[in-house]
Structure formats: structure tokens, C-alpha cells
Structure 1
Amino acid sequence: MTASTFAASSIDAPLVRRLIAAQFPDWSDLDVLPIEPGGWDNRTFRLGDDMTARLPSAERYVEQVEKEHLWLPQLAPQLPLPIPMPLAKGMPGEGFPWPWSVYRWQPGETLAVKRVDDLALLARDLTSFLHALMRADATEGPLPGDHNFHRGGPPAFYDEETRRALRLLEAQIDTEAAQAVWEAALAAPFRGTPVWFHGDIAWGNLLVEDGRLSAVIDFGTSGIGDPACDLAIAWTFFSGDAREVFRDGMAFDRGTWARARGWTLWKALIVVAGMTGAPASERTRQRSVIDAVLEDHRRFG
């Protein structure tokens, strides 16, 4: 089987067991269990009690494997919360065409409102983590590019895609207001020093224990550049007082928030417009994100 013909649906526990047995025989007696949700860019499996195996689901995610193995061990000592720690890098084999990873298991549950009593406190935890990430040594860090789908670069990279989504959504959303948000993002270029960003700060990549943020995972879209893309959670998860705590804690200027709204709007628009293959439930959720972004622009733009 070649990379061009490999199907993500072929990534299952039996495949992982074969890869482990062939490449890391000392771990071959450990249980392999799928983790739900297993991820979109990668498929993740519990390996014994203390590890996970993580396999890219398509060739476009393969560059992230090497990036995480190189940079996560350097970032970890500079951050206030645990992040994934690579333990071993697997090679193509057993019909799987790409490199893959074994990581240390991170305890905790993915972020959900029902798992957190004080969302404002969680917002403060997250701002502390993101500020520490931005202070981390960015020397020779990975600039935006194909490896992270240009997170950390100008939102203009997705201008054509965004305008197509707006055309598809005529009469379904307030496209005039949405276009104003997008134009404001394009008109506020990043002029700062590139800093580390995560690239996908979302509920599925934030772990909580006892109602507190306990770890941040999945650095596949990380890099150095404009941190505005890490602010999308202001509208995709937070609301009310927690959103205000997050905004105040991040303490960015209007231009950064304009770009952040642009990044968030782009993703929500292409989902709602049916350009990503997302299920109906996600399209409905992203429609509420659009509403939140438009309201935020009316208040602060």
C-alpha cells in the first residue's frame, strides 16, 4: 500500500499492535485501545497505562511528527503545565506509510463546561500558559508554512477560501457584517517579533483535572509567528465573564484581536458552508461561533 492509496480508516488498534510488535517489541504485551475522540489530523491510541501511540491520518500531517519530536522536549521545561513528551518515533511499516510517535500519557479529561465549575479561573489558567508559551525561546523555531497550514501567518492566506464561503452563505448569515470582520483582519498586519503559538487552542486539546487546566496537548499546528490564532477559543468555548477574563488576561491590542476574529471566522465559515465535510452538529455549533464573532466586532472592532 502506498501513501497515495492509504485510507485513514485503516488506522485501527490491530495495526498499532502490529507496529508496536515489529518496532518496539518490549511494549508488545501492552494493551492498545483507541481514544475517543481520536482526533482528525492524527489517530491516538492508549498504549498500556503510561503511553499513547499517535499516527498521522494523511500525508499532509506527516511533517508534524518530526517537528514535535524536535521541539516539544525544548518547550516543555519552559511551560507551567505538562505538554506531550515524545518517547519514541516509529517508522513506516505493516502497511502504514508514514512515521508515527509514542508519547507519555497525559492524565486528565478533555475540556467541557460540565467538567469545570469556574470557567473564569480556567480562562486565567489558559492565559498564564499562553503567555509562558509566547515567552519561550523562539530561536530557529518553525515559521508558518504547510506543516501547520499557515497558522501564525497572515489570515490573508485564506482570503480566497473565505470569500468563497461568504458567497455560499448569502442569505444564510449576515455576510455584510462577516465581510467587515474579515476586511478588518486583513487591514491589521502583524508587525511584532515572532513568538511561539500552539495553533489549535480548542477544547479537545486542553485537559482538565478537578476543574483546573492540567495539560495542553497536540502541538501539530504550532510554530513561531503571530499568536492571534491562539485566541479563537474566546468565541469557540468561552462566553460571558470567562471571555472577558480571557480577553483582559491576554492584553492584546485591537489589531491582534481583529486578526483573531478573522482566523475564527474563516474556520467557522468554511464549516458552515459545507466545505470541510463536518457533520451537521458541528456546522450548527460553528454558526453560533459566527454570531459571537460578529457581535464581538460590533462591540470592539
Structure 2
Amino acid sequence: MHDSELAVDDALARSLIGASFPGLADRELRRVHTTGTVNTIIRLGDDLVARFPLLPATRAEVETEGRSLTAFAAASPFPTPLPHGTGEGSDAYPSAWSVQTWVPGDTAHFGAHETSVSLAHDLATLILALRSVDPGGRVFDGHGRGGDLADHDAWVTECLIRSRHLIDVGRATALWAALRELPASGPDVMSHRDLTPFNLLVDERGGETRLSGILDGGGFGPADRALDLVAAWHLFDAPSRQVLRDDVGAGEGEWLRGAAWAFQQAIGLGWYYKGSNPEMSALGLSTLGRILADPELSSLV
């Protein structure tokens, strides 16, 4: 999926685990096949998981992620992994890596829960809980999504060019031109910053789909208050999106700006992962389909 991607087979994983965590050396290893684009995931027994970055990471970066995970777990009303420790790299694998606790559950899917009002309520509960955490004077750190929409113009333009065979690029270009102008609707708030379906765990209870866990909370930090609203566009049809919108209390500007962030994320998924990660590509195209079909967004063009 990436240039210079780091590979970790089971033998190398066991060697790295034994060197950094001797007490875990004899645990059963079970590779977890995910749609993720950042780590190779290998379970260690029943309660732990090793996460090996696909691109090199420093020990400081991995430990920063661990501190954010701890803060996220304290804020989240739903189960989420906690850091267990940081592993050292080697000549064969030149990167720091981590061990975290394992949270059971089934990964949400962008096509499976479109009408789930219960899941929309749960996601709103999560977003409001994260927003209730005091940022402590911190603001968006400038990395990834969550700052100025117009900062992403060059990337979006490249993606539009590369998506001509996948979407109505004329409509998408016109919509981005309108979305990028939307002002922030308030100060930065604490945010998960990547609420895609693949970072959400769900289960079925009483005939309803409920949120049972949140993954990848290591990016927890201050960002545009609209950023976590991307989940509505990745997952739901219009009525269920409205449930989440009402629960969160998002005004028009905030809601449309959430759609803008969903657009910015989705436009990079369809073409980029079409060959290397078909499920991630399909997520992007599904989200763009919802955005381009929405009457409120169409009225901006």
C-alpha cells in the first residue's frame, strides 16, 4: 500500500516480541487481517496485540501515541485499547512498535449499518464525551485533518484528477470549491480524528446494532469540532445522519464542514487504494456517493 513498506512475517514478529517482551515470547501469535493502512496487527494470546507500523516510527512517536491512547480511554464511554509497552526495532525491522490490550468486537462496515438509529445515537454519545474533555489550551497540531480545509487543496486537486474514472469529477470539483470556503464554527475540541467504520467495533443487542469499542485512539487531540462528524457520512443514510446531527446539536455550518472533512478523506481513498486495499477504496467511493447525493450539499453548488 505504501512505498518502502516494512514487512513483518511471523518469525520476525516472534523474534522482536521475545527481545522486547521476554514474558510474552511463548504466547500464541495470530495475525489479524484488517483493512487498516498503518500497522501490521498480530494478536498475542487472548488479551494483547502487537502493532508493527508499516512505515518507520520512532520510539518517541510510539510513546506519544500510547499517552494519547490512555487519555482517549479515560474520555471514551466505550471500551478502547490501552498501551502495554513499546518494542524496540532491529536491523530486520527498523522501527519502534507497540503492544496494546485487545478489545473484542466486529468491525463496522460502511454498507451494513446505514439505517441504524441505535448506532447513530451511540456515536453521538462518543463525540459529545470527547468534546467534554478540556483541551487545556491546546489547538490543532497541524498534522492531517482538522485545521484549515484550504490547506488540502493540492491533495484534493490531485485526487480529483486521478478519480475521473470513478466519480462525477465535475460535480465533485464544484462541491469542494464551496466546501473549502466554510469557516470553522467554533474553537477546537478534543477529537478522535479518524472515526472511520474500520476504527469502530459493533455488536448486536436486542435486535439493534450498538457501538462496542473504539480503535486507534492514538490520535486523540484538539481539532476542528466538525471533524468527528465524518462518521455520519461514512456510515449512515440521510435519516440516520439526521439522528446523529440532532444528538450532537450540530448547526448548519458545523454539519456542512463535517461533510467537507469527510469529502477530503474519501476523495483520497477511492483511487489510491483501488488495487492495494479494495475495502478502503470502496469506503471512499461509498462516502463520496452519499455526499454527492445529499440535497443540502448540492444546494451549495
Tell me which interval the TM-score lies in, with the shorter structure as reference length: 0.7 to 0.9
Q: CA RMSD in A?
A: 2.9
For 1:27, the equivalent position in structure 2 comes to 24
Counterpart pick for 2:213 among 196, 206, 215: 215
Q: TM-score, normalised by structure 2?
A: 0.85
Is 1:234 the counterpart of 2:232? The answer is yes
Quick one: distance in 1 between partners of 2:13 and 2:150? Answer: 39
Q: State the secondary structure of the residue aligned to 2:268.
A: helix
Is 1:87 the counterpart of 2:84? The answer is yes
Counterpart pick for 1:70 among 57, 67, 70: 67
More helix by share: 1
Which runs of structure 2 are paired with 1:237-256 in the superposition (5 Å)? 237-256=235-254
Range moving further from structure 2, 34-43 or 81-90 = 34-43
Range moving further from structure 2, 21-30 or 223-232 = 223-232
What is the identity, as a one-letter code, of the residue corresponding to 2:84? Answer: L
Quick one: distance in 1 between partners of 2:29 and 2:20? Answer: 15
Indicate conservation of the 8 Å contact 2:28/2:45, yes or no.
yes
For 2:121, the equivalent position in structure 1 comes to 124
Q: TM-score, normalised by structure 1?
A: 0.85
Indicate conservation of the 8 Å contact 1:152/1:223, yes or no.
no
Quick one: distance in 2 between partners of 1:180 and 1:134? Answer: 32
Structure 2 gaps of 5+ residues are none
Q: CA-to-partner distance for each residue in 1:244-270, whole Å, 9 max, x for gaps? A: 212222222222222222222223333
Is 1:54 the counterpart of 2:38? The answer is no
Range moving further from structure 2, 276-285 or 185-194 = 276-285
For 1:157, the equivalent position in structure 2 comes to 151
Q: CA-to-partner distance for each residue in 1:179-225, whole Å, 9 max, x for gaps? A: 33212322222252221111111111111233321110112443212
Q: CA-to-partner distance for each residue in 1:93-116, whole Å, 9 max, x for gaps? A: 362212111111111111137976
Count of aligned residue pairs for this structure pair: 293
Range moving further from structure 2, 163-172 or 252-261 = 163-172
Higher RCO (CA-CA < 8 Å; seq separation 6+): 2
Q: CA-to-partner distance for each residue in 1:39-58, whole Å, 9 max, x for gaps? A: 21111111111111111110
Q: State the secondary structure of the residue aligned to 1:59.
A: coil
Quick one: distance in 2 between partners of 1:223 and 1:52? Answer: 23
Which runs of structure 2 are paired with 1:5-16 in the superposition (5 Å)? 7-8=5-6, 10-16=7-13
The alpha-carbon distance between structure 1 residues 290 and 140, as it changes in their structure 2 partners (threshold 3 A), is same
Quick one: distance in 1 between partners of 2:220 and 2:154? Answer: 23
Cα distance, 1:299 vs. partner?
5.8
Quick one: distance in 2 between partners of 1:186 and 1:6? Answer: 32
Quick one: distance in 1 between partners of 2:200 and 2:263? Answer: 21
The alpha-carbon distance between structure 1 residues 89 and 170, as it changes in their structure 2 partners (threshold 3 A), is closer
What is the identity, as a one-letter code, of the residue corresponding to 2:214? Answer: V
The alpha-carbon distance between structure 1 residues 252 and 31, as it changes in their structure 2 partners (threshold 3 A), is same
Indicate conservation of the 8 Å contact 2:175/2:298, yes or no.
no
Is 1:98 the counterpart of 2:103? The answer is no
Is 1:298 the counterpart of 2:276? The answer is no
Range moving further from structure 2, 137-146 or 257-266 = 137-146
For 2:174, the equivalent position in structure 1 comes to 180
What is the identity, as a one-letter code, of the residue corresponding to 2:78? Answer: L
Q: CA-to-partner distance for each residue in 1:104-147, whole Å, 9 max, x for gaps? A: 1111111137976971101101110111011113226573334x
Indicate conservation of the 8 Å contact 2:197/2:235, yes or no.
yes
Structure 1 gaps of 5+ residues are none
Structure 1 runs (4+) deviating above 6 angstroms are 60-63, 113-118
Quick one: distance in 2 between partners of 1:236 and 1:139? Answer: 30
